[in-house]
A = this chain, B = another copy of it.
Amino acid sequence: MTDIAKRFEKNPILVPAAVRPSHTGLDVECLLNPGVFEYDNKIWLLMRVAERPQQKEGKISFPVMDNGKIRILEFDKSAPHLNCSDQRAITYKGHGYLTTLSHLRLAYSTDGNHFTVVDDNPIFGQGPLESYGIEDCRVAKIEGKYYLTYTAVSNYGYGVGLMSTSDWMNFNRYGMIISGPNKDCALFEERINGKYCCLHRPNMSIVGGNYIWLAESNDLRFWGGHKCVAATRDGMWDSERIGSGASPIKTNKGWLEIYHGADKNHRYCLGALLLDIDDPSKVIARSDEPIMEPIEDYEKNGFFGNVIFTNGHIIKGDTLIIYYGASDKVICKAELSINDILNSLKI
């Protein structure tokens, strides 16, 4: 047992019932995986809100965005060519759909424990590449502006979308900046050797796998110089897929990146990578064992059980305060010592 996270005693801190559905006829099914930032002397979460209609006996139904409007698709569970073995996504006649539609919503707090949800001005996906929603948004503050990297999903596939804002009221949207299948894009909050950098997670098949890659950019909108940073490890806790969390943390030992790893049973734990400060494509050290794993009931049971997934944090001295999605259902909080994490890594 190598879990070094101190969970908040009143976890979960936010549950689906705390959020007003965005449209009549939809339920908030999951509240999860928030981006985290500080603004206007408050701590803010940019939460992923996953919705669907109440499910009828023998049916599966879910919303999609269609020209800015919600449309409900419904299938008989007994329909031929329907595969709904995964709680999160189904296929019908060879085409994939998500079982929920996600958008982003803000919540703020002055103490980091008690959050007020802002039900106004939810951020929805726009256009044909976001018709199945936008998910798991990271928030990076770069040169005074906030940059939001998120998973844009549609019937065309999924890739990394980018928005920016200075006031959290007006947003610039830059479309898909990294082509898919790709998600888990975390921006570095300063330039390295003159270039903006990000970690991202292509989903390779045939050769390769679900590994963490690095890319670089002159302007945050156009990306190249892709390099593989870290791969999954056979037989270990991160054997099946890995992906970055929030922006890398600059330490005097290198860039510390909290990442999630899943094994073949889809059990999602957290670990860390220490990356070279001048060349973050080089891994200096890595977690042999998870630094946090699903232990509590709310982490083991939910919409998709045995999942701890973080893509947002606050740093206070040595304390890393992470906000995380537990079991793809609720939002929780935990604290870890950055020094303890660094000391736990294997070179």
* Distance (whole angstroms) from the CB of A106 to the closest CB of chain B: 26
B226 and A176 contacting across the interface, CB-CB below 8 Å: yes
Q: A87-98 CB contact bits vs B (8 Å, 1 = yes)?
A: 001010111111
Main secondary structure, interface of A, reads strand
Q: How many subunits of this chain does the assembly comprise? A: 2
B218 and A222 contacting across the interface, CB-CB below 8 Å: yes
A94 CA to B233 CA, complexed, in Å: 11
Q: Chain B residues near A213 (CB, 8 Å)?
A: 179
* Distance (whole angstroms) from the CB of A50 to the closest CB of chain B: 15
* Distance (whole angstroms) from the CB of A201 to the closest CB of chain B: 10
A207 and B153 contacting across the interface, CB-CB below 8 Å: yes
Kindly state whether residue A204 has any CB partner on chain B within 8 Å. Answer: yes
Q: Chain B residues near A211 (CB, 8 Å)?
A: 156-157
Give the number of residues in A that approach B within 8 Å (Cβ atoms).
53
Kindly state whether residue A324 has any CB partner on chain B within 8 Å. Answer: no
* Distance (whole angstroms) from the CB of A280 to the closest CB of chain B: 15
B208 and A181 contacting across the interface, CB-CB below 8 Å: yes
Kindly state whether residue A205 has any CB partner on chain B within 8 Å. Answer: yes
| Candidates B97, B176, B181; contact of A224 at CB < 8 Å | B176
Kindly state whether residue A231 has any CB partner on chain B within 8 Å. Answer: yes
The answer to whether A158 and B221 touch (CB under 8 A), given A179-B178, A227-B129, is no
The answer to whether A204 and B93 touch (CB under 8 A), given A177-B224, A179-B182, A182-B179, is no
| Candidates B96, B200, B216; contact of A206 at CB < 8 Å | B96
Q: Chain B residues near A153 (CB, 8 Å)?
A: 207
A223 and B223 contacting across the interface, CB-CB below 8 Å: yes
Residue among A153, A209, A226 with the highest chain B CB neighbour number at 10 A: A226
B176 and A207 contacting across the interface, CB-CB below 8 Å: no
Q: A114-133 CB contact bits vs B (8 Å, 1 = yes)?
A: 00000000000000110010
Kindly state whether residue A234 has any CB partner on chain B within 8 Å. Answer: yes
* Distance (whole angstroms) from the CB of A151 to the closest CB of chain B: 11
B129 and A207 contacting across the interface, CB-CB below 8 Å: no
Kindly state whether residue A12 has any CB partner on chain B within 8 Å. Answer: no
Q: Chain B residues near A337 (CB, 8 Å)?
A: none
A175 and B207 contacting across the interface, CB-CB below 8 Å: no
Q: Chain B residues near A91 (CB, 8 Å)?
A: 206
A202 and B225 contacting across the interface, CB-CB below 8 Å: no
* Distance (whole angstroms) from the CB of A80 to the closest CB of chain B: 15
For window 165-182 of chain A, which residues contact chain B by CB distance below 8 Å? 174-182
Question: What are 25 pairs between A and B in contact, CB < 8 Å?
Answer: A94-B234, A129-B227, A129-B228, A132-B207, A153-B207, A156-B204, A156-B228, A157-B207, A157-B228, A158-B204, A158-B207, A174-B224, A174-B225, A176-B226, A177-B226, A178-B226, A179-B200, A179-B215, A179-B226, A180-B226, A181-B181, A181-B203, A181-B205, A181-B208, A203-B205
Given A155-B207, A176-B227, 18 more pairs with CB closer than 8 A: A96-B206, A96-B207, A156-B204, A156-B207, A157-B211, A175-B226, A177-B225, A177-B226, A178-B179, A178-B226, A179-B202, A180-B202, A181-B181, A181-B205, A181-B208, A216-B222, A218-B222, A223-B223
10 shortest A-B CB distances, which residue pairs? A157-B208, A157-B204, A222-B222, A96-B207, A156-B228, A176-B226, A222-B224, A179-B226, A177-B224, A221-B224
